């Protein structure tokens, strides 16, 4: 069920102000409808498919005496993703007013208990533990192989002892013959034949393969710069791949769908790029000089209005 905050227009209709399904911001510009209109009132309502409820109002006064149609009032709205909406307005005279609205409980978004160990991160951790164990165990495997090569000769010596002891108890004359026989001597050549050649040193650290180029995209929800669980899992894998690379070649750019004003698109795309860069900094050392830019809608991946989800992205590039 989609919950929204709406406002009532001068024609008596309801217009969406901001969605209550996720954290976000929105800015709209209103115009006067009468000559020399000096004030008015904005009425807000909580609305979904089943019900509508009054959310209060804001009285606006001292508007500039502009002609009808001139943009004289800017409304800024921000939802914290839980239970509060901040609404402010600004006029051409830079008069500002901010008011907080508490979202009713039945209009608040469902709380999602995000687990740190989501499937993507858990797979990365298991893979890292497996590689670490292989690096630790490999030297011991080489030592055990050397020791097993000497076991047959030792076993043959041990197996002859019970037979000699049995002959000592049965026939003393045979014991004397055994004592008269010279003890077997082990020559240096025989030792060298039995002793295996020392194996080459295990190379547990494989060389780092330098990437020539990289172009990775992660995607966002509409009007949001928060990282999704899928994006976090992809960034975890990407941070492992980038270890040992020359990060001075890294570039992070944000993009938006072709909706809203260009100012809004640039602001949102920059926040997406900065949020992505902050997460990568928590996993690796990214140079402070790394370019982090927001291109808004100036470099779309698709112009089709039904495929705007491809434009809500951040591109992580490793230039040659």
Pick the last residue of a domain from 107, 126, 158.
107
- Quote the pLDDT of residue 71: 56
Pick the last residue of a domain from 107, 134, 165.
107
- Quote the pLDDT of residue 99: 77
- Quote the pLDDT of residue 109: 82
- Quote the pLDDT of residue 7: 67
CB neighbour list of residue 32: distance below 8 Å, 6 or more residues apart? 40, 63, 66, 67, 68, 69, 70, 72, 73
Query: What does pLDDT average to in each consecutive run of 10 residues of the chain (320 residues)?
Result: 72 75 80 66 82 80 63 79 83 70 82 62 88 84 63 49 49 49 49 43 49 87 94 93 89 94 93 94 90 94 92 92
Q: Is residue 15 part of a domain?
A: yes
Q: Is residue 36 part of a domain?
A: yes
Q: Are 184 and 191 in contact (CB under 8 A)?
A: no
Q: Is residue 279 part of a domain?
A: yes
Q: Is residue 201 part of a domain?
A: no
Distance CA 282, CA 238 (A): 13
- Range of the structural domain that residue 287 is part of: 214-318
- Quote the pLDDT of residue 200: 42
Q: Is residue 21 part of a domain?
A: yes
CB neighbour list of residue 249: distance below 8 Å, 6 or more residues apart? 318, 319, 320
- Quote the pLDDT of residue 32: 65
> With the CA atoms of 284, 290, 291 and 296 taken in that order, what torsion angle do they form, in degrees rounded to the nearest 10?
20
pTM value is 0.37
Distance CA 292, CA 95 (A): 33
Pick the last residue of a domain from 82, 107, 132.
107
């Amino acid at each position: 069920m989609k919950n929204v905050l709406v406002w009532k227009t001068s024609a008596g209709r309801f217009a969406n102000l901001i969605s209550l399904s996720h954290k976000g911001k929105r800015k709209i510009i209103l115009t006067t409808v009468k000559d020399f209109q000096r004030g008015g009132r904005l009425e807000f309502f909580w609305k979904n498919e089943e019900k509508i409820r009054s959310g209060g109002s804001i009285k606006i006064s001292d508007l500039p005496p502009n002609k009808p149609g001139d943009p004289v009032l800017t409304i800024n709205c921000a939802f914290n993703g839980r239970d509060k909406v901040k609404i402010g307005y600004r006029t051409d005279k830079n008069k500002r007013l901010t008011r907080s609205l508490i979202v009713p409980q039945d209009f608040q978004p469902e709380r999602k208990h995000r687990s740190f160990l989501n499937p993507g991160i858990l797979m990365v951790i298991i893979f890292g533990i497996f590689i670490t164990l292989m690096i630790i165990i490999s030297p011991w495997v080489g030592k055990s192989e050397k020791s097993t090569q000497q076991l047959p000769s030792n076993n043959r010596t041990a197996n002859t002892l019970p037979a000699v002891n049995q002959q000592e108890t049965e026939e003393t004359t045979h014991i004397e013959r055994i004592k008269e026989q010279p003890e077997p001597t082990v020559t240096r050549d025989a030792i060298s034949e039995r002793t295996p050649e020392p194996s080459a040193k295990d190379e547990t650290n494989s060389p780092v393969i330098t990437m020539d180029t990289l172009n990775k995209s992660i995607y966002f929800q509409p009007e949001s710069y928060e990282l999704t669980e899928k994006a976090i899992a992809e960034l975890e894998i990407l941070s492992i791949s980038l270890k040992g690379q020359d990060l001075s070649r890294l570039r992070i750019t944000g993009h938006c769908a072709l909706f809203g004003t260009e100012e809004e698109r640039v602001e949102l795309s920059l926040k997406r790029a900065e949020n992505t860069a902050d997460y990568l900094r928590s996993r690796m050392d990214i140079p402070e000089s790394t370019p982090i830019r927001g291109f808004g809608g100036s470099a779309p991946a698709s112009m089709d209005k039904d495929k705007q989800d491809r434009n809500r992205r951040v591109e992580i590039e490793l230039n040659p």
